[in-house]
Chains A and B, each alone.
Chain A
Amino acid sequence: MTLRMPAQLLDQVRREGEQAYPSECCGAIAGPVDGEKRAVRLYPVANRRTDDPHRYLIEAEQLRSVERDARANNWEILGFYHSHPDHPATPSEFDSSHAWPWYSYLIVAVANGRAESAASWVLDPDRPRMLRETLDVESEV
């Protein structure tokens, strides 16, 4: 499934990644689903893993409260975003082994405090590995 995202939202993810550097930022992506996922809103979430800058954790009750707000707008939680400080936007083994099916996992690489490439990944239904999915970013000039 394609994840469609306005450029402003992707920019927001990049900014959060830069602000959180050298730690990781994280949050949820919400919007309607109709054949493709259409991101309309981001919910930044406080990273509950504070012991290790190379990890993030969104706990169930955080997700519950985000989901409640999304549902009120008739949106779904489409997936989650997080940053990779000084590492490419490819999933780590930890990402793959903890990924849920269907959700999009958007990763933004942040090198020396500057956001670089971004890519979205989804769990392979057959194996514990992530496959890159189409991220369709539209900007209006």
Chain B
Amino acid sequence: MPVTVHIPTPLRGFTAGHDRLELDGATVGEILQALVGEHQALRRHLLQEDGRPRNFVNIYLNETDIRYLGQSETPVRPGDAITIVPSIAGGSPATAPAAEPVTALPPLSHQEILRYSRHLLLPEVGLEGQRKLKAARVLCVGAGGLGSPLALYLAAAGVGTLGIVDFDAVDLTNLQRQIVHGTSGVGTPKLGSATARLTDLNPNVKIEGFETRLTSANALEILAGFDVIVDGTDNFPTRYLVNDACVLLGKPNVYGSIFRFEGQASVFDVRSGPCYRCLYSEPPPPGLVPSCAEGGVLGVLPGIIGTIQALETIKLILGAGEPLIGRLLLFDALRLRFRELSLRKDPACPICGTNPTIRELIDYEAFCGIGAEPAYAGPEITVQELERELAIGKPITVVDVREPHEWEIVHLEGARLIPLGQLPTRLNELDGHDEIVLHCHHGARSMKALEILRGAGFGKVRSLKGGIDEWAVVVDPAMARY
């Protein structure tokens, strides 16, 4: 007649998921031997070398701990129930880790003390923290959507040296979110526009500008001069480049990214946590994740994420609070919800793992699949050619593969709207004998549409080079651009 042994949840992995087993024996000790005999892997969790239960393993016979009965010799009767109950123990090492040495910090002028008064009133910042900020050198990669709020708050906070890498010029479409720039700066370099605004905000801050594209050739040299790197880039090659350079240099990388209504932020510091590659070992296929220019972005969103990056940067400099290291913050603007995922360092990470395969910067464009194959493959038609062919009355079916909300902003007279995503199921609406011209906003989606049509056997298909935007610039300046 067997005895029932109740298996606690943590040990069910060793009993094929069974929460109870029927075993034969005359004493508790015999039953336990029968148990580990049947399930060998349980042995080291339950028994010591001499066969007695381990410390922190408690065995109950029915409702009584066998310590108060006859220990392992306690006799059992058929129908009895044995329950294994763990005690849970642990603790922290008795000694606290040593504090970091304090280095010489620059003094503050009376005027600076007044300016940073509200910081100095916080014990977590105080005079020492403000002097740490003044001594700090922070590099912002990009002066765009994330870089704008980031640089503004870091300058206002009194970060002593702010490096900015950007080679772009201010465009009117930037101003919906890139608040470091202004209308008067449209058409001028972002670097100059940002420097003017930041210097006006806080003349104590030294701006070091790098009017260049960050590349594998210059990244290590530029980044090496800074304490904290803040990634405000909008593309994958630069994001992997910044990550790898930070890993190789052992510098913290304050990461942020945005997409339409959603944002992410984290702090990658391989000295105490994972890196971007531990999170995303491979970039998405090119074209899968649209850029802000293609997919749109709510203007406030980079403000929120960029401000979080500024906050984390300041915390790293102060050594205050709990940094976002090993944690990925996800923000959903439409639902107004924050989520936090804990990130693990990946031992197999190609750059910060135990056996790294990447020991120097690589070709990031190629790594991200950009330039590997021509992005535009297939017959194209320029806007001038299309205008001419339409003017002479050539029968051409113009198909607009953009989204309905883009159609509402502006569209070509006589065009038909079939959004790219619906195209494969709406091929029957098109005639293979017709001359077809596909167009989108800038010419990328229409090229994908062209591949779909050619794959379906359509022979006379062309894609409008530069899209409706090019049409608005060259052919019809009265048309709205977006």
Contacts and interface: CB of A to CB of B under 8 A. Distances in A.
B140 to A, nearest CB: 26
A76 B89 CA distance: 19
Contacts of A116: 321-322
Contacts of B14: 101
B92 A100 contact: no
B339 A64 contact: no
Interface in B72-93: 85-93
Nearest to B63: A64
A43 to B, nearest CB: 12
B234 interface: no
A58 B339 contact: no
B88 A100 contact: yes
Interface residues of B, number: 37
A64 B81 CA distance: 15
A120 B344 CA distance: 11
Nearest to B340: A137
Contacts of B344: 131-134
B326 interface: yes
Interface string A110-141: 00000011011000010000011111111111
A57 B65 CA distance: 17
Q: Tell which of B88, B322, B342, B345 has the most Cβ of chain A within 10 Å.
A: B88
A54 B342 contact: no
Contacts of B87: 57-60, 63
Contacts of A136: 339-342
B304 to A, nearest CB: 12
Contact of A94 (B11, B90, B340): B90
Interface residues of A, number: 54
Contacts of A117: 322-323, 325-326
Nearest to B55: A98
Nearest to A77: B9
A63 B89 CA distance: 12
Given A116-B322, A135-B342, A55 B337 contact: no
Interface string A95-114: 10011111101000000000
Interface string A48-68: 010010111111110110010
B338 A55 contact: no
B96 A86 contact: yes
Interface of B: 9-14, 45, 56, 58, 60, 65, 85-94, 96-97, 321-323, 325-326, 336-342, 344-345
Interface of A: 7, 24, 26, 28, 49, 52, 54-61, 63-64, 67, 76-77, 80, 82, 84-88, 91-95, 98-103, 105, 116-117, 119-120, 125, 131-141
- Lowest 9 CB-CB distances: which A-B pairs, in order? A60-B58, A55-B91, A84-B92, A95-B90, A102-B10, A135-B342, A60-B85, A58-B88, A87-B92
16 contacts: A24-B92, A54-B93, A57-B89, A60-B58, A61-B85, A82-B90, A84-B92, A94-B89, A94-B93, A102-B13, A116-B322, A117-B323, A132-B326, A132-B344, A135-B340, A135-B342
Given A56-B91, A87-B92, 8 more contacts: A60-B58, A82-B91, A86-B96, A87-B93, A91-B90, A100-B45, A102-B10, A134-B344
